[in-house]
Amino acid sequence: MVGRTLVRGGLVITAADEIHADVLVEDGRIAALAAHGSPGADSWAESADRILDATGKYVIPGGVDAHTHLDFPFGGTFSSDNFETGTRAAAWGGTTTLIDFAVQSRGKSLRDGLDTWHAKSDAQCAIDYAFHMILSDVNEHTLKELDLLVAEGVTSFKLFTAYPGVFYSDDGQILRAMQRSADNGGLVMMHAENGIAIDVLVEQALAEGKTDPRYHGEVRRVLLEAEATHRTIQLARVAGAPLYVVHVSAEEALAEIAQARDKGLNVFGETCPQYLFLSTDNLAEPDFEGAKYVCSTPLRPREHQEALWRGLRTNDLQVVSTDHCPFCFQGQKELGRGDFSKIPNGMPGVENRMDLLHQGVVEGRISRRRWIEIACATPARMFGLYPKKGTIAPGADADLVLYDPTAQQTVSAETHHMNVDYSPYEGKRLTGRVETVLSRGELIIDRREFTGHAGHGQYIPRGTCQYLI
């Protein structure tokens, strides 16, 4: 264990500032920052055990990905990244904290689900991690358990208006869970799509012989995302609870969130890189290739991308997470050949998020500080991890990324580290790349070599959402 590390000569970027500063790391935490070239910073160089030269690089907080599904059961299979491979890939991509979804199985307790996810992840992770809980069975017992979970640091709960028979909750169940969270400080995360109506459209499409992946996008209509977003916002108002809408993909759903926020409600929105960079054109790729892009909410026509970028600029959307839920094309996505509704829903991305959002900076869509805000600081605040995570400040964990803003890369499954046999961004050229990553002061990526290990990552019990008034 190295005692004092000095990260020297870089441009330190947080959600608040951009400063040419040296960063002193001691015992896994940020000890101090000082202007590069100042007498204080120069004296640190003499006593440091290790100096990392960040000249020409950005020094940014490690990314916080608040939405992943590792080893996740779906559609008769499991997502192809487990906690070891998924957290390693996250590290390669400059993410040093992720919040994964523990799943309550129907008929079982929340405790049971959480224990299962601890067993899957314990001693496996390369980076720090925390859990949300998926509620699949809201009843008297599980409602009581919510209080216990909040008290032990699982402070957010995902509910679904989609996937009838799997994760779906009806409006009464959603209202009850929201009432409980209004009391205990938990945050309800909503997968907002009208799953009952979607299932009717799925049945009708299949009966007409429409079996290709592109019909996944067609039946999961924009209006059905907007309707469920509107409805669950109203339920949250009735309960007096905050609401975080996950994986927003449609402009019309975003408009519902913006309207609620304009009223001053505690309603928050998340989108994901796939909705910013990919579209229904990908779902329509021939020879079943469109299956690679099947996720829910679905990819939308290109026009929606502009609206989502705008939402990120105007703070109608606050967070970009990946919803990383990879399934291999061979053997997993193929389960849906001849019936798009059997394609496991989900896409890889945990390794690509920081770079894709940096591309938004390169293309002038967001500022550098906004990049860090939506990818690091706000997710940490939203889910009770700030300022331990999400920033560079004295006392914070020394989760740091040395980022080369001018490096050129071409995204490919040949070179990525996620355990999945394709990349939805295959061949995409990006400017900027992660060079070195520290997690609590330990080098886990050293000049593009993985130096971390499974078991370094610690489970973090979380506080409650830090945006509530």
- By CB under 5 A, name the binding residues for Zn ion: 191, 323
Cα distance between residue 91 and residue 436, in whole Å: 9
**345 binds ligand URP per the rule CB under 6 A:** yes
d(CA 127, CA 454): 8
CA dist., res. 20 & res. 352, Å (int): 26
Give the shortest CB-271-to-Zn ion separation in angstroms.
12
Nearer to ligand URP, 347 or 377 (CB): 347
The one-letter code for the residue type at 456 is H
Query: Residue 322 or residue 436: which is nearer to ligand URP going by CB?
Result: 322
Q: Nearer to ligand URP by C-beta: 88 or 247?
A: 247
- Give residues 154-213 in contact with ligand URP (rule: CB under 6 A): 191
Smallest gap, in angstroms, from Cβ of residue 231 to ligand URP?
Answer: 17
Residue 346 in the binding site for ligand URP (CB under 6 A):
yes
- Nearer to ligand URP by Cβ, of 158 and 440: the residue is 158
Q: What is the C-alpha separation between 195 and 190, in angstroms, rounded?
A: 13
We find the least distance from the C-beta atom of residue 226 to ligand URP, in angstroms, to be 17
Between 22 and 193, name the residue whose CB sits nearer to ligand URP. 193
Closest residue to Zn ion: CB criterion: 191
Least CB distance from residue 75 to ligand URP, whole Å?
A: 9
Report in angstroms how near the CB of residue 249 gets to ligand URP at its nearest: 10
Buried b or exposed e, range 292-303, using 16+ CB within 10 angstroms: bbbbbbbbbeee
Residue 44 token pair: 């640190």
Looking up tokens 């913006």 gives 258
Q: Cis ω on the peptide bond leading into residue 387 (within 30° of 0)?
A: yes
Nearer to ligand URP, 6 or 317 (CB): 317
When binding is defined by CB under 6 A, the residue of 36, 57, 69, 216 that contacts ligand URP is 69
Decide if residue 323 touches ligand URP (CB under 6 A): yes
To ligand URP, the closest distance from the beta carbon of 446 in angstroms equals 33
Q: Which does 404 bind (CB under 5 to 8 A by kind): ligand URP, Zn ion, none?
A: none
Q: Answer yes or no whether residue 296 interacts with ligand URP by CB under 6 A.
A: yes
Of ligand URP, Zn ion, none, which one does residue 214 interact with (CB within 5 to 8 Å by kind)?
A: none
When the beta carbons of 134 and 267 are compared against ligand URP, the nearer one is 134
- Nearest one of 111, 217, 188 to 383, comparing CA atoms: 188
Question: Measured between alpha carbons, how far is 76 from 468 in angstroms, rounded to an integer?
Answer: 38
Chain centre to alpha carbon of residue 164: 24
Distance of closest approach, residue 193 Cβ to Zn ion, in angstroms: 8
In three-state secondary structure terms, 6 is strand
Nearest distance from C-beta of residue 246 to Zn ion, angstroms: 5
Going from the C-alpha of 307 to that of each of 110, 251, 255, 354, the distances in angstroms are 37, 6, 9, 20
How far apart are alpha carbons 300 and 288 in whole angstroms?
A: 18
Find the helix packing angle between 303-314 and 251-262, rounded to 10°.
Answer: 20
Among Zn ion, ligand URP, none, what does residue 346 contact (CB within 5–8 Å per kind)? ligand URP
The footprint of ligand URP on this chain (CB under 6 A) covers a number of residues equal to: 9
Within 242-261, which residues bind ligand URP (CB under 6 A)? 247
Q: Which two tokens stand for residue 437?
A: 């990553």
According to DSSP, residue 397 is labeled B
Whose CA is closest to 107, among 139, 76, 148?
Answer: 139
Residue entry with tokens 């997690």: 439
- In the bound state with ligand URP, the residue whose beta carbon lies nearer, of 5 and 79, is 79
Asked if 295 is part of the footprint of ligand URP (rule: CB under 6 A), the reply reads: yes
Find all residues with CB under 8 Å of 82, minimum gap 6, and list them.
Answer: 70, 71, 120, 124, 419
323 vs 399 by CB, closer to Zn ion? 323
325 contacts ligand URP (rule: CB under 6 A): yes
User: Which residues of this protein are in contact with ligand URP, per CB under 6 A?
Assistant: 69, 191, 247, 295-296, 323, 325, 345-346
